[in-house]
Amino acid sequence: MPGPPPLPFAALPVFWLIGSQLVVAALVLAAGRRRPRSAVIVSAGALAAAFGWLAAQVGTITSGGVVVEHLTWVPHLGVSLDLRLDGLALIMGMVVTGAGALITLYSGAYFKWGPPTARFVGYLTAFAASMLGIVVSDNLYGLFVFWELTTITSYLLIGFEDEKGSARAAALQALLVTGVGGLAMLGGLVLLAQQAGTSSLAALLADPPGGTVTTVALLLVLAGAFTKSAQVPFHFWLPGAMAAPTPASAYLHSATMVKAGVFLLARISPAFHTIPFWTPLVVGIGLTTMILGAWRALRQHDLKLLLAYGTVSQLGLLTALFGMGTPAAVYAGVAMLLAHALFKAPLFLVVGAIDKQTHCRDIRLLDGLARRMPGALAVALAAGLSMAGVLPLFGFVAKEAAFEALLARSPWLLALVAASSALTVAYTARALWGAFGRKPVSAQADLVGAKAGGTPLFLLLPAALPAALGLAFGLLPGLAAPLLEATVGTAGAGALKLWPGLKPALGVSAATLLAGLLLFARRDAVERLQRAGHRRLLAKWAPTGEGIYRRALAGLNRSADRVTAVVQSGSLPVYLGIILLTVILLPGSALVLGTALPRVDFGGHWAQFLTGGVVAAAALAILRVRRRMAAVVLLGAVGYGMAGLFIVYGAPDLALTQLLIETLGIVIFALVLYRLPTHFSEARWRLGRALRLGVSAAVGLFVTGAALAVGTASRPPPVSAYFNENALSAGGGRNVVNVILTDFRALDTLGEITVVATAAIGIAGLVTGAVRSRRKRQEP
Amino acid sequence: MKHRPSLIAQTGLRIVFHTLVVLSVYLLAAGHNAPGGGFIGGLVVGAALTLVWAVDGPQRLRATLPLPTFTVIGLGLLAAAAAGTIAWAQGRPFFEAVAFGLDLPLFGKVKLTSVFLFDAGVYLVVMGMVLGILVNLGEEVEA
């Protein structure tokens, strides 16, 4: 069979874009422990190089080109690494690599260049590689693989401080929620690929299938996107994930991973938004999430949690925009996505810097940091004003585009988003005031902040760059516009303007700003209202997503306990009996019903009667002996007899293996028998004895019958003929058995030796465990 | 049960041990064309190590080992998996056999195949498993 031509790996830049990050991650994890600085430099350098390569592609992409690469992986299942760099992939890729490089630098300072640095940076780089994979995957299954890789790497990052139980629980929660969503998505993707007859995303979107199956498939895919992007009712894992170190929160939970879900929506929504259920469902979920997140952000005292709920809200808005699927909405959505990465990451990074300098994130306790950390204040102001959508910043420009897209659809949508914008202004003010403002002196609270020193350069610079970029894109929207247009494919789908003119959208902006500031001014009243509402209504009546998650997990554990208690009785005869009865009932009945009694041919070498006689005699003798060791030796005799039969039939390899196995087997039996009584115990239960006899006899009959039937019933040309003919030509060996093991069936053999290795580990574990428990019993 | 080395057994072991090890390597190397292979070779070297355990005791067995049991097993698995990727790197399906001609100074032309690397992996895993059983189960017989 001629294979595909050798792949010139060097000529696959997009492949290496991902591959190099994985290599760097492995390198840093393996060798970076003692060299945290080098680890940070290598990782940040690799990500910056990837960013540079992507930036060099801007010209190609904005002029309408795409970079496409194909790598076959499992061709029989349609699984391949098809990589496709288009406008949307480019902009996401630049966010992933750019933010990745900066946050890697930041992590070095965050961990004070200590021992955990390299492990963290390594995970982060591996995560960046997975995220890049999602962004450029054109194959549905490839997309899923990278999707799950981000789930796994984010699990490692959230649970990074693994000595803390809370971090482990949060990591597990994020893993389970996004993992379950990912599995649902896999189901959806398989259905979609079946419906469309292709596993290529581009081909699927060019000619989208319809019908009920597609609807089900899309609902499953949406489950994946909603869990990943923390949409109601799955939003609870995102605030929980704030147990991660702050650089991870800044990277995963604001700039990248949570964007995977909305990114997928942006990809598929233009093709599917005409299906009736799509827009109401996606926009509805998005808007609910948007309002809920912003509302709950107003109640937080922990700066990180406040920002996390803000992110939930922004993700809701992005979901709603992408869910509409029209070019104008998608265009505004991508602008919002970029703006969000540019303002939310710096805010997280500033919070991390504050946390490092004061060991506090509680806005009730932080006081007077404006004077102590002026650099951080400047960055936070630039980013915060962008988040609130204030005039010369990119957040404003993007929000205006969103308002216009919404206004074109329905004024009601605009009203909802405007309300959420007002809440956004309020929580932004709360965050900025909370972090940097002066608090009224209170007797109980021990205010911190007065002792804080300046901010280290690497805790500030990575935050300052994106914030500055947010300002630059705000002042000169023309800088970002061509890239955004490339994502939608049509020029002028929307227009980014700094000064939109006196249009309704501007009025809405002004109104939301005023309303938000008013909400902030009356923050105590708002907080009281929220608390009362939460206590009276929500806590009692509404089932929260988190509550359902907890109950489902507890229920699963309970039912697993019950099932195990029933199924795993711990009695060896019962296990063996069940296995053997299954053999008798299933293949046994098929044998009895399905095959005619074959003609038995006893011809052959005389020596087979001799060896057969030895085997039979030894087997009968086993039934009579009462000493365990004698039984083992007789079992060995059975085995040696079998080896003799192999020799008679001309299979020296099998005979050799059998002899060696029998020999070693007796030794190992002896090791085990050393711990057991010398004699078998007498059977106490008469019926049990009869039952065992019956089962044994039936199994014996079945095996005999099956051996005869299999030997005579093979009608299609046996595979052994192929093996015999091709062993030398294809496998390059004259020993057919060996060629089968190491070439034709090499994957099976690999699986088998993995089982052997696992068994060896299991034995070690059992013995060490037994020894330990015995020691414990001896020395109380 | 105190360990009492027997002189006859020890002398016998000195003669047999190295022969068995060489035989196992021969079986491994010849296995592709004649009876043998990684599995059988691994069992033979396992038998040799069992003899060391039985005659000289577990202490001596552990002293004989150059590497910890699980390192042997891990290396074996790694070698077997790596053998599969050789064909991959040339753009051909996983585990397709790849042969190299090699000109060694003393041996002349030698044909090395990825199959040999795979078989060597099997050899190491099987040997490691026998070792693991001896080291773990055999410990307490002595103690």
Given an 8 Å threshold on Cβ–Cβ distance, is B133 in contact with A732?
Answer: no
Whole-angstrom Cα Rg for chain A: 33
Residue of chain A whose alpha carbon sits nearest to that of B72:
A757
Residue of chain A whose alpha carbon sits nearest to that of B82:
A750
Q: Which DSSP category does A11 fall into?
A: G
Q: Which residues of A touch B96 (CB under 8 A)?
A: 3
d(CA A209, CA B5): 78
Residue of chain B whose alpha carbon sits nearest to that of A653:
B35
Give yes or no for a contact between B111 and B100, defined as CB atoms under 8 angstroms apart: yes
Region of A572 (left: φ > 0; alpha: ψ -120 to 50; beta: rest) is alpha
Query: What is the model's pLDDT at position B37?
Result: 85
Q: How far, CA to CA in Å, does B63 sit from each of B6, B57, B58, B135?
A: 19, 10, 9, 11
Distance from CA of B52 to the nearest CA of A (A): 13
Q: Which amino acid is at B52?
A: V
Q: Which residues of B touch A4 (CB under 8 A)?
A: 91-92
Q: Which residues of A touch B35 (CB under 8 A)?
A: 652-653, 656, 735
Given an 8 Å threshold on Cβ–Cβ distance, is B125 in contact with A757?
Answer: yes
Sign of CA dihedral A182, A183, A188, A191: positive
Given an 8 Å threshold on Cβ–Cβ distance, is A663 in contact with B47?
Answer: yes
Is residue B7 scored above 60 in pLDDT? yes
Question: What's the whole-number mean pLDDT along residues A277-291?
Answer: 92
Query: What is the model's pLDDT at position A541?
Result: 59
Distance from CA of A244 to the nearest CA of B (A): 33
Distance from CA of A144 to the nearest CA of B (A): 22
Query: In DSSP terms, which residues pair with A366 in a beta bridge?
Result: A448
Given an 8 Å threshold on Cβ–Cβ distance, is B126 in contact with A753?
Answer: yes
Give yes or no for a contact between B112 and B32, defined as CB atoms under 8 angstroms apart: no
Q: Which residues of B touch A76 (CB under 8 A)?
A: none
Given an 8 Å threshold on Cβ–Cβ distance, is A674 in contact with B73?
Answer: no
Number of domains, chain B: 1
**What 3-state DSSP class applies to B8?**
helix
Question: What's the whole-number mean pLDDT along residues A236-248?
Answer: 89
List the single residue in A671, A732, A771 with the smallest CB-CB distance to B138. Answer: A671
Query: What is the model's pLDDT at position A3?
Result: 41
Query: What is the model's pLDDT at position B135?
Result: 83
Residue A127: CB atoms within 10 Å: 26
Q: Determine the structural domain holding residue B70 and report its residue range.
A: 7-142
Count of CB pairs separated by less than 8 Å, A with B? 148
Given an 8 Å threshold on Cβ–Cβ distance, is A760 in contact with B133?
Answer: yes
Region of B56 (left: φ > 0; alpha: ψ -120 to 50; beta: rest) is alpha
pLDDT above 90 as % of chain A: 37
Flag whether B1 is in a domain.
Answer: no
**What 3-state DSSP class applies to A99?**
helix
Query: What is the model's pLDDT at position A637?
Result: 92
Residue identified by tokens 């801007």 is: A58
pLDDT above 70 as % of chain A: 89
Give yes or no for a contact between A72 and A64, defined as CB atoms under 8 angstroms apart: no
List the single residue in A653, A746, A771 with the smallest CB-CB distance to B37. Answer: A653
- pTM (predicted TM-score): 0.76
Distance from CA of A553 to the nearest CA of B (A): 35
Query: What is the model's pLDDT at position A68?
Result: 85
Is residue A49 scored above 90 in pLDDT? yes
Is residue A288 scored above 80 in pLDDT? yes
List the single residue in B70, B76, B94 with the smallest CB-CB distance to A753. Answer: B76
Give yes or no for a contact between A164 and A293, defined as CB atoms under 8 angstroms apart: no
Distance from CA of B59 to the nearest CA of A (A): 16
HSE toward the beta carbon, residue B77, CA cutoff 13 A: 16
Residue of chain A whose alpha carbon sits nearest to that of B99:
A732
Distance from CA of B4 to the nearest CA of A (A): 18
Flag whether B2 is in a domain.
Answer: no
Flag whether B108 is in a domain.
Answer: yes
Residue of chain A whose alpha carbon sits nearest to that of B91:
A6
List the single residue in B34, B93, B136 with the smallest CB-CB distance to A767. Answer: B136
Given an 8 Å threshold on Cβ–Cβ distance, is B128 in contact with A760?
Answer: yes
Distance from CA of A120 to the nearest CA of B (A): 26
Is residue A408 scored above 90 in pLDDT? no
Maximum average pLDDT range among A33-37, A173-177, A445-449, B83-87: A173-177
Question: What's the whole-number mean pLDDT along residues A494-509?
Answer: 70
Backbone phi, psi, residue A266, to 5°: -60, -35
Confidence class for position A684, pLDDT limits 50, 70, 90: low
Q: Which residues of B touch A759 (CB under 8 A)?
A: 129
Distance from CA of B106 to the nearest CA of A (A): 24
Residue of chain B whose alpha carbon sits nearest to that of A734:
B33
Query: What is the model's pLDDT at position A4?
Result: 46
- Listed in sequence order, the residues at least 6 apart from A449 whose beta carbon sits closer than 8 Å to its beta carbon are A358, A360, A365, A366, A367, A368, A369, A372
Whole-angstrom Cα Rg for chain B: 18
Query: What is the model's pLDDT at position B3?
Result: 58
- What is the ipTM, given to two decimal places? 0.85
Q: Which residues of A touch B132 (CB under 8 A)?
A: 760-761, 763-764
Q: Which DSSP category does A73 fall into?
A: E
Query: What is the model's pLDDT at position A5?
Result: 45
Q: How many residues does chain B have?
A: 143
Given an 8 Å threshold on Cβ–Cβ distance, is B132 in contact with A661?
Answer: no
Which tens digits make up the pLDDT trace of B75-129? 999 998 888 888 777 777 777 777 776 666 666 666 677 888 888 999 999 999 9
Query: What is the model's pLDDT at position A6?
Result: 45
List the single residue in A735, A749, A756 with the smallest CB-CB distance to B32. Answer: A735
Is residue B143 scored above 50 in pLDDT? no
List the single residue in A664, A738, A763 with the smallest CB-CB distance to B37. Answer: A738
Given an 8 Å threshold on Cβ–Cβ distance, is B137 in contact with A672?
Answer: yes
For chain B, how are helix, strand and coil distributed in percent, rounded to 5? Answer: 70, 10, 20
Q: Which residues of B touch A735 (CB under 8 A)?
A: 31-37
Q: Which of A45-59, A105-119, A275-289, B125-139 has the lowest mean pLDDT?
A: B125-139
Q: Which of A78-87, A311-320, A680-689 has the lowest mean pLDDT?
A: A680-689
Mean residue pLDDT across chain A: 85
**What 3-state DSSP class applies to A359?**
coil
Q: Which residues of A touch B90 (CB under 8 A)?
A: 6
Q: How many residues does chain A have?
A: 780
Q: Can you give the residue ranges of every domain in chain A?
A: 320-521, 524-563, 716-780
- Listed in sequence order, the residues at least 6 apart from A731 whose beta carbon sits closer than 8 Å to its beta carbon are A739, A742, A743, A744, B97, B115
For the residues of B102-132, what is the DSSP string, one character each? EEETTTEEEEEEHHHHHHHHHHHHHHHHHHH
- Listed in sequence order, the residues at least 6 apart from B1 whose beta carbon sits closer than 8 Å to its beta carbon are B141, B142
Which tens digits make up the pLDDT trace of A474-501? 888 888 888 888 777 655 545 666 666 6
Distance from CA of B136 to the nearest CA of A (A): 6
List the single residue in B83, B91, B133 with the smallest CB-CB distance to A763. Answer: B133
Q: Which residues of A touch B39 (CB under 8 A)?
A: 657, 741
Is residue A720 scored above 80 in pLDDT? no
List the single residue in A671, A759, A761 with the smallest CB-CB distance to B137. Answer: A671
For chain A, how are helix, strand and coil distributed in percent, rounded to 5? Answer: 75, 5, 20
Q: How far, CA to CA in Å, does A420 sit from each of A300, A310, A358, A392, A414?
A: 17, 10, 32, 20, 10
Given an 8 Å threshold on Cβ–Cβ distance, is B80 in contact with A749?
Answer: yes
List the single residue in A656, A759, A761 with the smallest CB-CB distance to B40. Answer: A656
